[in-house]
Amino acid sequence: MNIKQLEVLRTLLATGSTIATAKTMGLSQSGVSRLLQQLEADLSVSLFVRDKGRLIPTPEALLLARDAENILLAVDRMSGHAEDLRSGAAGPEVVRIGLPSSMWEHFAPAMLAHYIRDFPGVRIETFFETTTAINKLVEQRVIDFGFLRMEGDSGPGIEVERVATGESVCVVPKDHPLARLEEITVKNLRDVPLILIGRQRPNRMALDQTFRRAGVKQIVKIETHTNSSACSYVAHGLGVTIISSFYANLYRHLPVVHRPFVPRTTQEFGLARAIGTPLSIAAHALSDALKRQIHVSQKSI
């Protein structure tokens, strides 16, 4: 027994003939007859009798038609719900995403503006955390997925899709003498006030080692923990900072410029999610929206 057979039963009861049923359903008359015969065989019940060329429904057909109608209504509801899920009119109660703290100001609102128009029935919860915290939130299934800097092992049960890269740059005020250089070396930063990020983080420790090898003492004026605050401090003339070009590109609206920092190092960024936990349609669409916004934020101007 299948849905098409039930549709034939419903339509036959409404039209009273195989010819009209065939026309309504876009089938051949023989196709209608075959589906009706298959349904009767599957149910082991006679549903219609012929009387002078007319099809007369049996009492059993009228009783079973109620069940058929309920099944078909349920199928219609399911199809409609699936369409709502695909179109964004409905979805899971909430989609949760983890992002670095430096992406709250401009990146996240721009990403969500388009997404919310396409998925009005979905509520979004954003977590702005460090890479370590985002890893943990993904592993514990607190969030659907997270964007993070790829630093060593991501942890058991997590898979990471690389979606962006960056290279170390020095961010300086537009009117700073260093802004005239094509690239900035460690020795160029001798006696220059620095705004540094992430003490005890692997990338910060590597940067400190670079200064030691070059024999340049750091003059750290401000320690901070977000790329956004570092760029803002630079814009206010409080010093210069060394961050990934990925984040520097998010703050090109500030009165700062960034120059390649030598020795050059690269960074990779990815989307992390729990292995064995497929994303919902709404969550997958949000990850696509994030990738699109990455492309917008990183393209050259």
d(CA 42, CA 265): 70
Cα torsion 20, 24, 28, 30: sign:
negative
Q: What is the pLDDT of residue 85?
A: 61
Most confident listed range (75-84, 128-137, 158-167):
158-167
- Rounded to an integer, the average pLDDT of 126-134 is 89
Q: Enumerate the H helices of the chain as residue ranges.
A: 3-15, 18-25, 29-43, 59-87, 107-118, 131-139, 202-214, 227-235, 245-248, 281-298
Q: For residue range 226-247, what is the model confidence (pLDDT) as tens digits?
A: 999 999 999 999 999 999 999 9
Q: Enumerate the H helices of 124-201 as residue ranges.
A: 131-139
Higher pLDDT, 15 or 75: 15
Q: What is the pLDDT of residue 90?
A: 56
For the domain covering 3-86, report its CATH number: 1.10.10.10
The answer, yes or no, to whether residue 301 has pLDDT greater than 80, is no
Q: For residue range 164-186, what is the model confidence (pLDDT) as tens digits?
A: 999 999 999 999 999 999 999 99
Question: Is 93-300 a CATH 3.40.190.290 domain?
Answer: yes
Q: What is the pLDDT of residue 119?
A: 85
CATH 3.40.190.290 domain position(s) in the chain: 93-300
Q: Are 55 and 83 in contact (CB under 8 A)?
A: no
Q: What is the pLDDT of residue 222?
A: 94
Q: For residue range 53-110, what is the model confidence (pLDDT) as tens digits?
A: 788 888 888 888 888 887 877 777 777 666 666 655 555 578 999 999 889 988 999 9
The confidence band for 37, taking pLDDT boundaries of 50, 70 and 90, is confident
Q: What is the pLDDT of residue 281?
A: 86
